[in-house]
Amino acid sequence: MAKTALITGASSGLGAEYARQLAAKGADLVLVARDRQALERLAVGLRSTYGVEVEILAADLLKARQREKVEARVADETRPIEVLVNNAGFGLPLAFEANDIEDEARHLHLHVEVPMRLTHAALGGMLARGHGRIVNVASVAAFIPRSTYGACKGWLVSFSRWANGHYGPRGVTVTAVCPGYTHTSFHERLGLAPGEEGVSDLMWLDARDVVAESLRDAARGRAVSIPSRRYKVLVALARFAPPSLAARIGERGR
C-alpha cells in the first residue's frame, strides 16, 4: 500500500510544492485548502504526471466544523496518514498596534492551534503503527523577532523540538521547517507585488530547494530544518545579537 500524505495550504506555494515532491516519491495525497478549484487543477496534474491517488478536502481551517472534518480525516485509521504537512498560514503587517485584533487572533489560531490539533489527531494512529512523519512549516522568523508572526513560529519550533525528542524513539518524527524568504504567492497575498518586498535578491530561496532539503531533513529525523546555508549562518548569528538589534533585523523586508 502506498503511503498517504496530507498537506494543508496545498493549493499554492510551498504546499503545492510539497504535493509535487511527495507525489514524485510515490505518495498518495490528501490536499487541504479553501480554494477547491485550485486544488482540483493541482490534483489533475499530479494524477496524470505521477499516477498517484489524490483526494481533495476543501476546508477553511479557521472554521471549527470544517477543521474538524480535516482532523477526522487525519485520525481515520481505515485510511492512515503516514505524512502530515502543516503548511497553511498567512501573514500580517508587522505593526501589531495598527492591526485588527481579530485578524491577529485568527493569525494565532491558524499558525498555532490548527497545527497543534492536527498533530494531536495524527499521533494516535502513528504511534500505534510505530511510524509516521509530521512536518510543521515554521520560519526563520522563529529565531529573529518579527512581531506576532515570529512569535507564532517560535511556538511551532519549540513544540516540534519537544515532540521530536519525545515521540522520535517511538517511530514518529516531528520536524519544524524554517525557510527564509521564498518565492511563493505569500507576499502577494499581503498586497506586495514581486520586487516590492524590500528584500535583497541574495536572500530569496526557490520553493523546490526549500521543500527538497526539508524532506531530506525530515527523513533523517531532524527536529529543525533550516534550508540553505545562508539562513543557517543568519540564524546562528542572530542568537548573539542584542534584542534591539535583532528586532531591527526582523523589521527588514515585508
Torsions phi, psi of 134, nearest 5? -120, 125
The number of residues making up the chain comes to 254
122 contacts 158 by C-beta, under 8 angstroms? no
Q: How far is CA 199 from CA 1, 126, 147, 211, 250, in A?
A: 44, 40, 17, 21, 12
Integer distance in angstroms from the first to the last C-alpha of the chain?
Answer: 44
Catalytic residue positions, numbered: 149
How far apart, in whole angstroms, are the C-alpha atoms of residue 199 and residue 204?
Answer: 8
Distance (Å, whole) CA 5 – CA 54:
10
d(CA 172, CA 134): 8
Q: At what angle do helices 114-129 and 147-167 cross, to 10 degrees?
A: 10
Grid coordinates representing 79? 485510511
